[in-house]
Amino acid sequence: MMDVRNSPNRLLIADTDADTRRIAGDFAAAHGYTIAYAADEAQFRDLVGRFAPTVILIDPLGLAPQDFDALRWLGLRRGGSTLIVVTAQDPCPLAPEEIHMAYGLEVAMAEAKPLSRSMLEAVLLPQLIRSRQLCETDLRRAVDRAQLCAHYQPKLRRAAQGWELAGIEALLRWNHPEHGLVYPDDFIELAESHGLIGALTDYVLQDGIDQIAAWNQRGHRLGLSVNLSAKLLTDVDFADRMCDFLFSRGVAPDQLTLEITESAAFGDPPSTLEILSRLRARGIGLALDDFGIGYSSLTQLYKLPFSEVKIDKTIGMELAQTPAARMIVRAIVDLGHHLGLSVCCEGVESKTSLDVLHQCGCDQVQGYYIARPMAADDLGQWVPERPEDRPAAYAAVG
């Protein structure tokens, strides 16, 4: 498939019905979308990966008549496509909010067929504008005009009787003047390819370290995890500059963990190794993020000086219902411990998953069941003065 990622508007039409494919395809092509068609579930899964659609128009019951398998599968992927759900069943059996709650997907519309021109206009044109406007110039402006903000997700660590607050992970958000809160999956790649990722990371590091410094002053020693693009691992003095900055804020190096997603960008192993080793030598933690999917490989775990491995959220989200996911997690926990690493599992969405993770010795957990990422001002409820003030979610397992 040629250069599809250069086209900002990629629509995947996944429907067994040829008329729907034609009507939606003709309309969308006339308005500037690049289109791919899937007539069955196998083609759909293949194209979600290769075509990386920004918008998916789908009849989930047409593709897999027995249930909502296609939506479930999509929800488990790290994606970010906006969904338009259309069904032959009238009325459409699911509302957009229900699909969002059940599968974590962004849904612009869920309606019964047939597709009308006004329906397509109402739902496809706003999406088109949105993707067009997330451009480099806008992102540059966002840095200058302070449209960035960091949200924080609590990370719990295993305690004898349950879990206790270990720290927070900073997750970048872009407060777009027209489109509201934009999530990193929609702009990190753009930032990386236009040399803006350094500025974004500086922002998150500063904001996060300031938060931790303020908690230090109130007597709460929390850890901070910040995501670092592998593209930034080119400056051998990074570790020294990082430490100077931490000391200037009264934060110890071992309060900071940098999370790196292994990627093709781990291009130059000698310098990557040197930079990571310097960070570890100064006490800064290093986590291999999103382990278990994509590019992650076992060898990186011992060839690079990681202190933590984070099991990808798609595995964590499957824990409650899939025995195989439990076995994989157990195996990673054992492997991590044998290599001297702390193991964190992301995507904890239920009490069952949390209990499974406690039983199998997982060291840290993170997920919507515990808390969603939140604005810094809301963190107060997570760092209570007295243990009995702990919020219900972690008191329940404590």
> Please, which residue, 245 or 368, has the CB nearer to ligand C2E?
368
Q: Does 290 bind Mg ion (CB under 5 A)?
A: yes
Binding pattern for the stretch 221-260 against Mg ion, x by CB under 5 A and - elsewhere: ------x-------------------------------x-
Shortest approach of ligand C2E to residue 200 CB, angstroms?
6
Q: Does 192 bind Mg ion (CB under 5 A)?
A: no
Write down the least CB distance from residue 172 to ligand C2E, Å: 4
CB 269 within 8 A of CB 291: no
As given in the structure block, the two tokens for residue 359 are: 């039983």
- Residue 290 CB, nearest approach to ligand C2E (Å): 5
Residue nearest to Mg ion (CB): 259
Q: Which amino acid is residue 364, in one-letter code?
A: Q
Nearer to ligand C2E, 62 or 373 (CB): 373
Please state the closest distance from residue 389 (CB atom) to Mg ion, in A. 28
Interface residues toward ligand C2E, by CB under 6 A: 104, 153, 171-172, 183-185, 188, 200-201, 204, 227, 229, 259, 261, 289-290, 313, 317, 346-349, 366-368, 373
Q: How far is the CB of 231 from ligand C2E (least distance, A)?
A: 8
Binding partner of 62, given ligand C2E, Mg ion, none, CB within 5-8 angstroms per partner class: none
| Cβ nearer to ligand C2E, comparing 278 with 313 | 313
Other CB atoms within 10 A of residue 377 CB: 6
Residue 327: strand, helix, or coil: helix
Residues 110-169 binding Mg ion (CB under 5 A) are none
Q: How many CA atoms lie within 13 A of 159 on its CB side?
A: 12
Distances (CA, A) of 318 to 261, 334, 335: 20, 19, 20
Q: Which is nearer to ligand C2E, 188 or 356 (CB)?
A: 188
The residue behind tokens 């996911």 is 325
CB-CB contact of 150 with 171 (8 Å): yes
Closest residue by Cα to residue 347 from 318, 322, 376, 316: 316
CB of 291 to Mg ion, least distance (A): 8
Largest CA distance in the chain: 64
Q: Of 138 and 169, which CB lies nearer to ligand C2E in the complex structure?
A: 169
Name every residue whose Cβ is closer than 8 Å to that of residue 5 and which is 6 or more positions away in sequence: 52
- Report which of 377, 374, 356 is spatially closest to residue 365, judged by C-alpha positions: 356
- In eight-state DSSP terms, residue 67 is S
Q: Give the nearest distance from C-beta 384 to ligand C2E in angstroms.
A: 21
State how far the Cα of 310 lies from the Cα of 331, in Å rounded to an integer.
13
Selected binder of Mg ion within 289, 308, 349, 363 (CB under 5 A): 289
Return the residue nearest ligand C2E (CB atom).
367
Coil, helix or strand at residue 228: strand
Question: Could you tell which of ligand C2E, Mg ion, none binds residue 201, using a CB distance below 5 to 8 A set by kind?
Answer: ligand C2E
- Report how far residue 271's alpha carbon sits from residue 177's, in angstroms, rounded to the nearest whole number: 39
Which residues contact Mg ion (rule: CB under 5 A)?
227, 259, 289-290, 346
